[in-house]
Structure 1
Amino acid sequence: MINTQKSFEQQDHGILYLVPTPIGNLDDMTFRAVSILKDVSLIASEDTRNTQKLLNHFDIDSPQISFHEHNSKERTPQLIEKLKNGESVAQVSDAGMPSISDPGVDLVKAAIDEGLTVVPLPGPNAALTALIASGLSPQPFYFLGFLPRKKKDLLAELKELNKRKETLVFYESPHRIKQVVETMKVAFSDERKVVLAREVTKRFEEFIRGTIGEVLEWLNHEKIRGEFVIIVEGNETIDDEENPWNNWTLKEHVESVMANEALPSKKAIKEVALIRKIPKRLVYAAFHEIEN
């Protein structure tokens, strides 16, 4: 069933606001975010102690309730009930956008299922902030968040990602960054371009740009501190080997197009010729088994 929402019409229930918080620099807090946090009945915080520092800085006295990955199943129905009773709730993560590497996505889904209004605010995001300054193509990009922790799973995931042409964006902690880049060297190559964005928006913000081999050398000689965003150049060498029809005969390819797209043979032959960038007469001859 279709679900439509007019965010700013009068509501007979509370509104769930998704409020981004600074990822390091408090000056990145917006006027609207401060206003919403002051006006809501309750703030659902990933870490109430961390958020309280932010609230104190902006003289916000709205009450908090903890909402994190370990209690989201318990808290979600409680928050939904408050919204139904007309109380507005702001959900915030420790830093950046709610729902990105954050349990807020479960609360959003539950609110939508109940026909409640969910209003997102724009604001800080480490992945996008790092991406636009990386010097690598910002679109298309593929954001994964945190990579698997086990070495075997990490390598398998990166090998799969090596099949993508999009710029890749990850989050990583300082104690794992070297291991991840070492594994990227195996899964990708020494020469793939990579950017490490460290402590984005904070006092010691730093961008390390180079090939995977060069960045790994930098990591081997630096004392590694701070949280990282990793941006990796997409694999531009991917070619038609990834196409499912690569091992088909021309006749098999035409028959597949006819079946999947409900086309007559004439049109399917023309499409296959365009896809494979070969003369139509060759496809025609192969389909009708005409000897040249």
Structure 2
Amino acid sequence: MTPGALYLVPTPLDFGVAEATDPLEALLPGETLAVAGRLTHWIAENAKSARAFLKRVDAAVGLAAPLQEQHILELPRQTHKRGDHTQDDRAARDWLAPALQGHGIGLLSEAGMPAIADPGSGVVRAAHALGLRVCPLVGPVSLMLALAGSGLNGQHFAFVGYVAQDPPTRAKRLRELDALATRSGQAQILIETPYRNAALLRALIDSLQPGTRLAVACGLALPTQAIRSARVADWRREPALAADLPLDLPAVFLFGP
């Protein structure tokens, strides 16, 4: 029996953010939709959002099996924020058993590309260990869209994920990253839970050097998308830069020289 493959299936960035009204054909390439429609086995960050995504796939291209017959395994909660790139992949090998029986398996995050700023890397490692094909499909990646729209160094950058919530610890970490960015030219990319976005933006404005460029990309690919990029001195001098940013939406924060 020919083993199935693990497909990394990107989802629209509107997922879980706003009422999904745009057809998937306008948001994802045809081949990505075709593969998603053929699959019946899934490993998902969130089972509820996976089912909602599959309903949209069904409306766009149809599903190989009805939604109630789709096999959806939800990743453990402890992997959601910090990821699973350092965890043992033995459990993930068990989850991939259907692929050894010939089934293709889709890996889904709630929005964007799985295993980038989202859980799933342990599943990918397990697939490699089992000798399965790993097939990332084409679709949106919020970090890259934000970097492209920031005006920062797209040749040398680092994703540093979340920073501490404790204000003194957070400020110290931001100053360390700012010094690294100044010394190396490397753009720094951060994210935060939406309800903490405003606090992180305030901390960035207060902690970074005046000459550092700070960019914020909110609600990427949504009708309310907003991207602002300016020197920290300008963010401090012009409150209007931040005043109407939709910080209640998922956002990517970037800074560097």
TM-score under structure 2 length normalisation: 0.76
- The separation in 1 between residues aligned to 2:113 and 2:247, in whole angstroms, is 25
Return 5+ residue gaps in structure 1 as ranges.
1-10, 235-292
- The separation in 2 between residues aligned to 1:48 and 1:189, in whole angstroms, is 42
What corresponds to 2:255 in structure 1?
232
Equivalent residue in structure 2 for 1:117, among 133, 149, 154: 133
Q: What is the DSSP-based 3-state SS (H/G/I as helix, E as strand, rest coil) of the residue aligned with 1:175?
A: helix
What corresponds to 1:68 in structure 2?
75
- The separation in 2 between residues aligned to 1:90 and 1:98, in whole angstroms, is 10
The AA in structure 2 aligned to 1:194 is L
The AA in structure 2 aligned to 1:15 is A
Aligned-pair identity in percent equals: 23
Contact 2:93 2:127 in 1 (8 A): no
Contact 2:96 2:127 in 1 (8 A): yes
What corresponds to 2:162 in structure 1?
146
Contact 2:197 2:248 in 1 (8 A): no
What corresponds to 2:57 in structure 1?
58
Matched, 1:108 2:89: no
Return 5+ residue gaps in structure 2 as ranges.
15-21, 80-88
Q: CA deviation at 1:156?
A: 3.5
Q: CA deviation at 1:233?
A: 2.0
What corresponds to 1:191 in structure 2?
211
What corresponds to 1:33 in structure 2?
32
The AA in structure 1 aligned to 2:38 is D
Larger-gyration structure (1/2): 1
- The separation in 2 between residues aligned to 1:195 and 1:145, in whole angstroms, is 15
Q: CA deviation at 1:100?
A: 1.1
Matched, 1:90 2:94: no
Q: CA deviation at 1:161?
A: 1.4
Q: CA deviation at 1:37?
A: 1.2
Matched, 1:15 2:5: yes
Q: What is the DSSP-based 3-state SS (H/G/I as helix, E as strand, rest coil) of the residue aligned with 1:176?
A: helix
- The separation in 1 between residues aligned to 2:241 and 2:10, in whole angstroms, is 31
The AA in structure 2 aligned to 1:32 is E
Q: How many residues get paired? A: 224
- The separation in 1 between residues aligned to 2:71 and 2:235, in whole angstroms, is 42
TM-score under structure 1 length normalisation: 0.68
Contact 1:181 1:212 in 2 (8 A): no
Q: What is the DSSP-based 3-state SS (H/G/I as helix, E as strand, rest coil) of the residue aligned with 2:140?
A: coil
Contact 2:42 2:71 in 1 (8 A): yes
- The separation in 2 between residues aligned to 1:224 and 1:13, in whole angstroms, is 44
